[in-house]
Homo-oligomer: A and B are copies of this chain.
Amino acid sequence: MANDTVTGPKGFLAAGLASGVKASGKADLGLLVCPTGAAAAAVFTTNKIVSAAVEVSREHVRSRKIRAVVVNSGCANACTGKTGLANARKMCSLTAGHLGAEPEEVLVASTGVIGHQLPMEKVTDGIMKAADSLSYSQTAGFAFAQAIMTTDTRSKHAVRRLTLPGADVTIAGTVKGAGMIAPRMATTLLFITTDVSITKPLLSRALAHAVGESLNKLTVDGHQSTNDTGIVLASGAAGHRTITSQCPRYKKFAAALTDLCDDLARQMALDAEGATRMFKVVIQGAASRADAAKAARAVADYPLLKCAIHGGDPNWGRIICAIGSSGVALNPGKLSCKLDDLYVFRGGAPTKFDVRQAARIVSQREHTITVDLGVGRAGDFCYGCDLSAEYVRINADYHT
């Protein structure tokens, strides 16, 4: 059977285990290793308050080669001052020590509750055990994916295989969280491995585009955490000539990477806290792409609509209300709205649609809302999920 985890691409080992950071005893420490050193690229939260791990990884990702990523869940190590920063650095140096690498060749990520210091004895012990249990196996890939989870109900995996002149290339990824909300403290972590051979600047470019078109299009509660981190490591082990320009090989790789991230974003939407459904909002006929993005986000973030979708109610009035409230340029007389292929509003007035058919559409696991603003030719999209009483329960019953 094919290995669809982060150990699938050639050149990567992984490990995941319970170090005791989580009181529940669940897995909370993961290691991802590329012994030969990988070209690496990363994206980070734009929140002005960032975790210690983000601070350190922002620095280390500039290194020519990255040999490992160490991740803990259960504690965000954010708002933890100088002690927190020292602890994040120590996670890197400990990992580097076990692998015979430099601390700067190690990236670090954390996720969990804000404002608590890491229990460093447990983390130190965990890193040692994880280093001892590193393996190229699929089991190890699964263990790593389990170790980065917080309130996720299942680990998420995606893989893409493509043939480039000279070699077959694999890209594999795992992600935790549901948009900005998933772990109780709101973080998303994304780790991608690939055996493609590519320069660091091109890898950065491909990652930024892929995340921009996928995870950054997903909103669960519209907020970005202090810890959001996305990392891609390229081992170059596939054995083809290195991609050094935006040639057709680059385009093929970048497209596959974007597709993989889109797959992971959809998995996240469906595993968002309390979510039972997801939807895609497509905006057309906008004056600018920025307007289209803003309108799409306004619809996907509108709690009243999210509740209606949870109830399987085709309440298109709430879509129109969110669009009007978003402040984008629109022509009320030309405005239209479709649920999948069913027009519910056209030319500024409601259509005579079949309410039962509309209810069936919004009751699906996934559906698409398309709105034409009637003023231009620009478009964009966004993913969202429903809002359930379970979301409130998860987030209200949790005590810091």
Provided the pairs A114-B317, A350-B79 are in contact, do residues A224 and B48 lie with their beta carbons within 8 angstroms?
Answer: no
Across the A-B interface, give the 8 residue pairs with the lowest CB-CB distance, nearest first: A114-B317, A49-B324, A311-B396, A307-B395, A389-B389, A47-B324, A310-B396, A81-B349
Contact of A398 among B298, B311, B321 (CB under 8 A): B311
**Could you tell me the dominant secondary structure of chain A's interface residues?**
loop
CB interface residues, A 361-400, toward B, < 8 Å: 387-389, 391-400
The verdict on A314 contacting chain B, using a C-beta distance below 8 Å, is: yes
Instruction: Pick 11 A–B contacts, CB within 8 A, sort by A.
Output: A48-B330, A49-B330, A76-B317, A223-B325, A224-B325, A225-B325, A226-B324, A307-B392, A307-B396, A308-B398, A389-B393
Contact with A400, one of B184, B355, B387, B396 (Cβ below 8 angstroms): B355
Interface residues of A (CB under 8 A from B): 46-50, 76, 78-81, 113-115, 180-181, 184-186, 221-226, 298, 301-304, 307-308, 310-311, 313-318, 320-325, 327-328, 330, 332, 335, 345, 348-350, 355, 359, 387-389, 391-400
Q: A48-B332, A330-B48 are in contact. Are A317 and B396 (CB under 8 A)?
A: no
Asked if A303 and B115 sit within 8 Å, CB to CB, the answer is no
Interface centre among A317, A394, A398 (most CB of B within 10 A): A317
Contacts of A314 in B (CB 8 A): 400
Kindly list chain B residues whose C-beta atoms are within 8 Å of the C-beta of A318.
114, 185-186
Whether B321 lies near A226 (C-beta < 8 A) is yes
Residue of B with least CB distance to A329: B48
Bound-state CA distance A317–B46 (Å) is 17
Closest residue of chain B to A355 (Cβ to Cβ) is B400
Looking at the assembled complex, report how far the CB atom of A378 sits from the nearest CB atom of chain B, in whole angstroms: 17
